[in-house]
A and B are shown apart, each in its own frame.
Chain A
Amino acid sequence: MKMPWMIADEKTTNMSPSHAEQATAAAAARAELPAPIARVHDLRLFYGATEALHGIVMDFPRHQVTSLIGPSGCGKSTLLRCLNRMNDLIDDVRTTGQILMDGQDITDPAVDVIELRRRVGMVFQRPTPFPKSIYENVAYGLRIAGVRDRATLDEVVESSLQRAALWDEVKDRLGESAMGLSGGQHQRLCIARAIAVNPEIILMDEPCSALDPRSTARIEELISALRGQYTIIIVTHNMQQAARVSNFTAFLYEGTLIEFGATTQVFTTPRKKETEDYITGRFG
């Protein structure tokens, strides 16, 4: 096992101009953080020749909700996808730096992405239920992991749907196609599907942007309820939502982490001018 910080020191030579600032922001945040579950160190990501992330340094706190905010195209989704290596699906993507989970660098090509994705689940902006029954949708992750025992499946499906606050609405029609649910129900189904495999981290990329206010409120309640058992990292364009659901907030701007800290601090007393401008709606 390589020591992460040793590698980091080697990298200090090619720091981007803002890297020093980022490091201080991260250090400041780190001081008040509980034990981190994932430590991102000097992460750079290239789409072909263009660099989309410029040396991100941040620690994601365990069992907390962290929101990523920032103007469109600043790299929030890109950063999120790095955490479960979904970027692998895109051609011509290259990263440098590390993301450490339990001391292991998950950007290492030798890491088993299947195992990683089981531990780091993801919910997408557009709900994508599979054309199967509600039951099979939730059981999908377990089935592909090779679970066959009906009792286990039943139990996990029920508890996941309950935690996703969908159980009462669908308990009588688990065998029906999931396609018959509403948009908001679809998204909760996707969340249930993600928590059914019992991941350590759940990544959510604008999970409410296609939903009406009521469904949004339900999902937000759900996120708050899941805090404490799961680490949730959520990308959102809705400042109120970030303020409501998250305890930590990271502000990204053009591929750089500008500010990262407790949500109350970032929203009430931002340390950076850009953050303040963004959250007060002056740009972005």
Chain B
Amino acid sequence: MTPIRHGTRFWRQGEPLVWATGGTLAFVLLSTVLLIGVVLVHGLGVFWPSPVAEITLADGTRFHGQQVQTETHPGTGGVSVQFKTANRELDPQRLDFRWVAQEALHRLDYPADVMVVERLENGSFFGCLERVDAAGLDLPADVPVLEQLVAALTAVRSERAARIAPLAAQIQTLNRELQRVQDTLLRLRYRRQRSVEQPDAAADANATCDAAIARAAARQQELQARSDELGAEQRAVAAALRQATAVFRLPSGDTHNVAVADMVRVWQPNAMSVWAKCRHYAAKVWELLSDEPRESNTEGGLFPAIFGTVMLVFLMAITCFPLGVVAGVYLGEYAREGPLVKTVRIAVNNLAGVPSIVYGIFGLGFFVYGIGRLLDEWFYPHLVEANKMVFGTGGLLWASLTLGLLTVPVVIVSTEEAIRTIPQGVRASSLALGATKFQTLVRVLLPMSSPGIMTGFILAMARAAGEVAPLMITGVVKLAPTLPVDTQFPYFHPDRKFMHLGFHIFDIGFQSPNVEASKPMVFVTTFLLVLIVLVMSSVAIYLRNSMRRRFQSRDI
């Protein structure tokens, strides 16, 4: 007998295949980790108060700047450094970033008294505080300037709360009333016009209508005047508050005034302890999560966008989940196998591959222009007449319905799959005990297939949360003045436009006039969006796993 050969074992056992599968998985994992890593590194560092240098160039020019990045020129090999210089209004081109060749750098100092001022307008400001000019506010005189500034800030803020906030609230109530009156006016005018077209309408009814219109118009004028008056008063108060300024010395030797009322917060990064930096970081993160955006979305918070995203996914889930499950149950349990059902199944599977923008266009055509316009004609004919739309324009409801349509195939397919993989014996056992088909479905089949259904639901949700294209034409906006939920009856306004994190990324990343300034926010927003998707799917996965433990069989 010839000895059994060695050597070929390696290939026969398929070791390379195992490596290939492992390698592929590793590659996928690596690219995911890389993506998340880039987002994390850029996103998490944004709010950390990095030091501000006083830069002296070889030609003697001096300015303040935060080092952002360095880049090697591919051809010459020269290295240039990018600084964030802030003080946008002082730059002839209104830029707040500046590239400097490394050779041109003479020295970098980090003086402890450089201050960063976050402002309501024109981005941040770098400078050394010299004095505070606030004649109107009584400030402690013989304390360091920094404390004076802090006192001035507090004083301006309390002034604002005491004088401007009540005015703003009053204006808001007035404007709401104004809106109601305008609505009534439109309604009355519409009715009056209709009665002109119907000659048999009673003359005295017309007369009452005319009287009502006159009353409403008078009221409208009165309200408008009052509102304008209050607005003027508010502006006057604001202007008075802007009188208080802080004077900053710049490295060039000039001084520059910044109104205290424009300041959001001030800090001296070079003098801060780690603990102070941490507190600053926490405050910024809280602002991000709870505040509204400022400065064309490159500053401030993201709360409306977070809220919009969560609401959108939530509404999407409420619509697509029942629809998908019911359709999937019908396909998997009731429909008789045949060419029609096969076609439907193929169609549903392919629906999942239709580009999302196509769904957006469908949503626009069907929901907004179709159903929305129809609803408007039924419920708000007077507004249609005045060319104002309620449902006939994009809004949260239509966007979430569009997303629901987009994700429903995934739920259908997974439900059908889950129902069909339940062994026939389970159904037979239930029916043999005298259960109807429906009882069997509700009491046995649905619980048993719930983990599978949840899996589909998780996929659907993740897809919906990251989808932007269809939203852009069905109701998302760059800046929504109001949230879809507020204290005004009926508290929930699905017809309103909304903000969305995904769209926010696109908007500030690619539509912003100041790309450099908005870059950090892109990473932060991406990070938040990923985090939200992660949280939502973690909850869903947790639910699914507990269902699995409860409902899934060991050996059937």
Contact = CB atoms under 8 A, between A and B. Distances in A.
A86 B336 CA distance: 18
Interface residues of B, number: 26
Given A128-B425, A130-B444, A144-B439, A180 B554 contact: yes
A180 B552 CA distance: 11
Given A124-B429, A190-B429, A145 B434 contact: yes
A75 interface: no
Contacts of B436: 114, 144
A221 B428 CA distance: 25
Nearest to B424: A89
A194 interface: yes
B214 to A, nearest CB: 66
A176 to B, nearest CB: 11
Given A126-B556, A144-B439, A117 B434 contact: yes
Interface string A93-126: 0000000000000000000001101100110101
B433 A129 contact: no
A144 B443 contact: yes
Contacts of A129: 553
Contacts of A130: 426, 429-430, 443-444, 448
B550 interface: yes
A284 B427 CA distance: 31
A84 interface: yes
B447 interface: yes
B556 A194 contact: no
Nearest to A91: B336
A124 B550 contact: no
Contacts of B443: 130, 140, 143-144
Interface in A64-78: none
Contacts of A128: 423, 425-426, 428-429, 556
B435 interface: yes
Most chain B CB neighbours (cut-off 10 Å) among A128, A132, A144: A128
A91 B336 CA distance: 9
A121 B432 contact: yes
A54 interface: no
Interface string A139-154: 0110111000000000
A58 to B, nearest CB: 22
A93 to B, nearest CB: 14
B232 to A, nearest CB: 70
A132 B433 CA distance: 15
B551 interface: yes
A193 B426 CA distance: 13
B435 A131 contact: no
A38 interface: no
B53 to A, nearest CB: 66
A164 interface: no
A144 B426 contact: no
Contact of A118 (B428, B434, B554, B555): B434
B386 interface: no
Interface in A160-182: 177, 179-180
B431 interface: yes
A197 interface: yes
A23 B92 CA distance: 112
A48 B363 CA distance: 47
Given A86-B428, A89-B428, A126-B425, A131 B433 contact: no
Contact of B553 (A91, A124, A143, A179): A179
A56 B443 CA distance: 37
B433 A141 contact: yes
A140 B554 contact: no
A140 B433 contact: yes
Nearest to B440: A144
A177 B423 CA distance: 18
Contacts of A86: 428, 431-432
B197 to A, nearest CB: 60
Interface in B395-435: 423, 425-435
B448 A131 contact: yes
Nearest to B551: A131
Given A128-B426, A130-B426, A131-B448, A89 B554 contact: no
Contact of A197 (B433, B550, B552, B556): B433
Interface string B508-552: 000000000000000000000000000000000000000000111
B550 A177 contact: yes
A23 B444 CA distance: 43
B428 A124 contact: yes
Contacts of B434: 114-115, 117-118, 141, 144-145, 197
Contacts of B426: 128, 130
A51 B399 CA distance: 57
A118 B552 CA distance: 27
Nearest to A143: B443
Contacts of A190: 429
Contacts of A118: 433-434
Interface of A: 84, 86, 89, 91, 114-115, 117-118, 121-122, 124, 126, 128-132, 140-141, 143-145, 177, 179-180, 183, 190, 193-194, 197
15 contacts: A89-B427, A114-B434, A114-B435, A115-B434, A122-B432, A124-B425, A124-B432, A128-B425, A128-B428, A128-B429, A130-B448, A140-B435, A141-B434, A145-B434, A194-B433
Interface of B: 336, 423, 425-436, 439, 443-444, 447-448, 550-556
- Would you list the 8 A-B pairs with minimal beta carbon distance, nearest first? A118-B434, A122-B432, A141-B433, A128-B425, A131-B551, A128-B429, A117-B434, A144-B435
Given A114-B436, A115-B434, A128-B425, 18 more contacts: A84-B432, A86-B431, A86-B432, A114-B434, A114-B435, A117-B431, A124-B425, A128-B428, A130-B444, A131-B448, A131-B552, A132-B447, A140-B430, A140-B435, A144-B434, A144-B439, A179-B553, A193-B429
